[in-house]
Chains A and B, each alone.
Chain A
């Protein structure tokens, strides 16, 4: 188990809003700001489109951690999409808790499109957090079965 933990590179999926986090990721890229390659971005038109089932299916598909990144509260392009996402993240956390994956593997962040540096910080923060938590219990099972990553 320790061996697995030592070499563990978490797979993290960031569900990003087009108007803020995705643009911030772009800015981070054009500004040559480094952030961990563990984070894979999925583009959404607004975090209001991020349904609980997308979060669960991302874990089901093998993610060790997931985060939803939307606009600053009060600044949603569609007025309340990020507030809806906040509630849905809370609900999805409770679902992950009840099945034993752990709600702490899912987070919600808010940032503006001008915050390329903040995007990189969030990516690093989430990567370190999930690295410390270890593989998702679903993936630990896969590793026990002899399939390595």
Chain B
């Protein structure tokens, strides 16, 4: 899922300082699961903003809304009545959600309350780690189900660099060396011969380096 983190309150305060009526829009998808922009986080930010704005003598209302997914037109369109009353929509969804609101309500300001971080998963309660970079050409079947593109700091494709020490990465000792993990897993699976195969230089044109991407499924088109 997409992992996000709330912006510092001072930044949110600055973003909202000129608005009168604010609608805080949460999303019940990924950001709710990573405890950044679900119903609870929306309620907390709304309460904080209401108190801060009252203390700063600012007029107006701070309303809350949470929809199923902020990245789909149908769910965002259903917010229209709430959106109409607001001057500013403060989205607590990922960057996709903010842009959906901006596109569906072109006359309204749509600002982000979160910083969208990466695609990942929770590894323990309260800790999320990056797993996928969306490079557009998956090689997990070759690497024991561990992605060297996203999880190796240098996205090395043929074994670790010289900075792998004790299973950790030289960039940050908190980061596991992806190639150590791949080696250990392939050995366990009895597939260590895979390590002898050389991977060709990767075609990065399927990644973001090839420009904004699109997926088309003809059978689903109208």
Contacts and interface: CB of A to CB of B under 8 A. Distances in A.
Interface string A80-119: 0000000000000001001111000000000000000000
Q: For this complex, into which size category does the number of interface residues on chain B fall?
A: 10 to 19
Nearest to A51: B40
A138 interface: yes
Contact of A141 (B8, B9, B10, B54): B54
A72 interface: no
- A interface, size bucket: 10 to 19
Contacts of A141: 54-55, 57
Interface in B5-28: 8-10
Interface in A46-62: 51-53, 56-57, 59-60
B30 to A, nearest CB: 21
A140 to B, nearest CB: 9
* Most A C-beta atoms less than 10 A away, residue of B8, B10, B54: B54
Interface string A27-70: 00000000000000000000000011100110110000000000
Contacts of A56: 44, 47-48, 51
Given A51-B40, A138-B54, A141-B55, A57 B48 contact: no
Given A51-B40, A98-B9, A60 B47 contact: yes
A53 B48 CA distance: 10
Contacts of B54: 138, 141
11 contacts: A56-B51, A57-B47, A59-B51, A95-B44, A98-B9, A99-B51, A99-B52, A100-B52, A101-B51, A138-B51, A141-B57
Given A56-B44, A98-B48, A99-B48, 20 more contacts: A51-B40, A52-B40, A52-B44, A53-B43, A53-B44, A56-B47, A56-B48, A59-B51, A60-B50, A60-B51, A95-B44, A98-B8, A98-B10, A99-B9, A101-B55, A137-B55, A138-B51, A138-B54, A141-B54, A141-B55
